Structure 1
Amino acid sequence: MHRPPPEPGERYRFTVVERWVHRTTSTLMMTAIVTAACLYLPFLAEIVGRRRLLVVIHEWSGILLPAPLLAGIFFRSLRADLTRLNRFGPQDSGWAWRAVRHGTRAAGPAGKFNAGQKLFSAFIAGAVLVMVGTGLIMWFPHLSALTVRTGASFVHDWLALVVGILVIGHIRMALKDPEARHGMRTGRVSRAWAKREHALWTEDEEQGEKHGREQEPSAGR
């Protein structure tokens, strides 16, 4: 996918496809979380009402959660970032522990995604699959035994609580970093931020740019 050159002092971080996958997935996730809260918390249920409508919205937002990623998988940029998210390198060893103790900036250099982002993505991906599976069991109760439905409901409810807490933490971290939000909104980040927060990725990008400049004279001959 062709993309125009970034503004001076900026670096591309995410393509349009990646940003829309993130945006639609987060919208579906927040819809599922909010409707779940309205269904399970009595004071919210009384305020909102319309329980049947909430159930329908919750069911469909949950079942559609994997859809944006499945659609985006056909694009090379998203597949490349999924590969980065699924690979833990030497720089990731102990990163999360150091980040908890001293903050992300003191945790050491990171690639395009730090270890915390990789762990979060891996957990959410697995949790979505489990939530969709257990949700389908509860959606079609006549297809499984009572013990299966009871176990599915238990797993679904408690995993939903964990996911909700982690998503709130994810949002809290994003609110503390306006540059990261700008990157997800526009696809571009400042080179200074990239070098400070994702030094290893910046080095790889600079090497790629240098290699590209070296190849240009050869291509012009």
Structure 2
Amino acid sequence: MHPRADTAADVSRFTRTERWIHRTTAALMGVCVLTAACLYVPPLAELVGRRALVVTLHKWSGLALPLPVLAGLASRAFRADLGHLNRFGPHDRTWLRAALHRDKRHASRPAAKFNAGQKVYAAWIAGATLVMLATGLMMWFTHLTPLLWRTSATFVHDWLALTIGIVLAGHIGMAVADPEARRGMRTGRVSRDWATRQHSLWRR
């Protein structure tokens, strides 16, 4: 999918539907993370109180987390971008090698619409979300599974939640460091110069 020119200086990157999916998913994930922190960090639990309400918010926001993506499958542009995210090529291996060696030259990190780091993040967070959903359901509907399963699900859910929090912090940090990428997600457009530097194969 090639970028479509909007103005002499900009190209189109994301549709309105794709931006809605990202914002809605981010909001639900934010509620999950914040409510989890309020449940497991004693000072926050004491500050917020109303544990039953926090638990309810955590359960339903987690259950709703896959819904924006499922609804987005009706969008052709979103399905195309999922295809891009799910497809690794030789240039992605080159990008990862350059990233591991901390080579910041743009020519050393060729990328299509999404770079290899974004593809790895998308695959990891999608898998982690499904595991969190499955383990969360086991903890919620306790009568459906044996005690050993519930104990294991609690262990996986708690530690994976901590890992997700760390990965999300890294994701947000990367976004903060790249104002043009944020503009692309906010408005749907990015500058031609940025597209050429950061996603040369897509721009080409």
**What residue is the counterpart of 1:42 in the other structure?**
42
Q: In structure 2, what is the Cα distance between the partners aligned to 1:107 and 1:52? A: 51
% same residue: 59
Structure 1 166/36 Cα, relative in aligned 2: closer, same or farther at 3 Å?
A: same
**What residue is the counterpart of 2:148 in the other structure?**
147
8 Å Cα contact 2:85-2:114 kept in structure 1: yes
TM-score, length basis structure 1: 0.87
Give unmatched runs, 5+ long, in structure 1.
204-221
**What residue is the counterpart of 1:135 in the other structure?**
136
Structure 1 152/22 Cα, relative in aligned 2: closer, same or farther at 3 Å?
A: same
8 Å Cα contact 2:35-2:55 kept in structure 1: yes
**What residue is the counterpart of 1:201 in the other structure?**
202
How many residues align? The count is 200
Q: In structure 2, what is the Cα distance between the partners aligned to 1:9 and 1:53? A: 48
Q: Give CA-to-partner distance per residue, 1:100-152, whole Å, 9 cap, x none.
A: 42347464210000000000000000111110000000011111111010000
| 3-state secondary structure, aligned to 1:93 | helix
Structure 1 stretches (4+) deviating beyond 6 angstroms?
Answer: none
Give unmatched runs, 5+ long, in structure 2.
none
Q: Give CA-to-partner distance per residue, 1:181-209, whole Å, 9 cap, x none.
A: 00000000000000000000001xxxxxx
Q: In structure 1, what is the Cα distance between the partners aligned to 2:158 and 2:81? A: 31
Q: In structure 1, what is the Cα distance between the partners aligned to 2:15 and 2:94? A: 30
TM-score, length basis structure 2: 0.94
8 Å Cα contact 2:94-2:109 kept in structure 1: no
**What residue is the counterpart of 2:174 in the other structure?**
173
8 Å Cα contact 1:99-1:105 kept in structure 2: no
